[in-house]
Chain A
């Protein structure tokens, strides 16, 4: 039996809110992680690159979180969502909240994310939800640039010196368990895939796996076996790292609520 139109619309908005929050939180959390390298990156070019990628991701986070706030309809705005939620209310992937580690780990995290983020945004640019499609089409152009950079660096460092190779391989081993979550669908993903608002994650899984596999081979890195996939980020169950990161990121707004300058 069909649900009444109103109930249907409400349910759909809840799922859309949850989904756009995930997209925004991925960008926000990764941007915050990357920002910590500004002034500390191993080369000037990398310092500039990492700052630019972070800037793109802050911009994308603003667009997604503004849309999420609008869909939620509770009078919150993008800043409220960024600075006013505790870790348990964040919906980002576990991968992006993992600590920076050495530069090898930061780059590998970026590549594993970009290789998912770019095809995801390309697919979302065809979303049945116009507002999602518009943001995704804009962000996809930026993500393509991010992916080119992180892919090239994984190849040159993986196939570089003995030390750079070993560091990249170690980073890959540490991060691999956090990648499964990106392509494992939950009820929110499924609800949006049914209406054409979001892509089928099984299709994304194949694209990601092929692209990552080809790059790792070129980088002379060994692809880890698919073991237990850490998950929970999309549902708000995070590693302990996120809380510490948010404590720093949200400090000013928590200490001086609504403060502006």
Chain B
């Protein structure tokens, strides 16, 4: 719980948010996905700024809910969630740790040209759209497994 007069530092809040998984790709934290744009105290109110990945991504509402739940669990009572569209989210904001987590999970990170399973460079696109707005479907020419590729955006 937050003791009056001793607000947690924004660094601490960032570490809490780094434990909140993305609802659609849970190996990725919201911080690693790059959707948390700012954490700042306004007096005793914590303001967290979020940016959506895709305009119509159904996870956006869930992400807000998860952030709110996580921060309330850590005793943050006064919370303001803000949405920021500009600059638009880009896959360049996925952290190196996030890229590694995607690959280990079997999703080729954005810009990758190799199969996440065997590393083969012989890959072909099956469908430009996949199970979520952010992914496309590919198939490996060597191990023959299909896999998701996180689209550059």
Residues of A within 8 A of B (CB): 45, 48-49, 51-53, 55-60, 62-63, 133-135, 137-139, 141-142, 145, 148-149
Contacts and interface: CB of A to CB of B under 8 A. Distances in A.
A52 B86 contact: no
Given A49-B129, A56-B54, A141-B153, 4 more contacts: A45-B129, A55-B54, A138-B52, A145-B128
B88 interface: yes
Contact of B85 (A51, A56, A135, A145): A135
B55 A52 contact: no
24 contacts: A45-B129, A45-B137, A48-B129, A48-B130, A48-B131, A49-B127, A51-B129, A52-B129, A52-B133, A53-B129, A55-B54, A55-B58, A55-B133, A56-B56, A56-B133, A60-B56, A62-B56, A133-B86, A134-B86, A135-B85, A138-B85, A141-B88, A141-B153, A145-B151
Interface string B119-153: 00000001111110100010000000000000101
A156 B142 CA distance: 27
A142 B130 contact: no
A53 B54 CA distance: 11
A174 B133 CA distance: 31
Contacts of B133: 52, 55-56
Interface of chain A, main secondary structure: helix
A107 B56 CA distance: 21
Contacts of B85: 63, 134-135, 137-138
Nearest to B128: A149
Contact of A45 (B57, B58, B126): B126
Interface of B: 52, 54-58, 85-89, 126-131, 133, 137, 151, 153
Given A45-B137, A49-B129, A138 B57 contact: no
A48 B56 contact: no
B132 to A, nearest CB: 8
Give me the 7 closest cross-chain CB pairs, A-B, nearest first.
Answer: A59-B56, A59-B55, A45-B127, A134-B86, A55-B56, A49-B129, A138-B88
A63 B88 CA distance: 13
Given A45-B127, A48-B127, A49-B129, A138 B86 contact: yes
Contacts of B88: 137-138, 141
By secondary structure, the B interface counts as loop
A59 B54 contact: yes
Contacts of B137: 45
A139 B55 contact: yes
Contacts of B56: 55-60, 62
A51 to B, nearest CB: 8
Contacts of B128: 49, 145, 148-149
Contacts of B151: 145
Contacts of A139: 55
A55 B86 CA distance: 20
Contacts of A59: 52, 54-57
A134 B86 CA distance: 5
Contacts of A149: 128-129
A185 B73 CA distance: 54
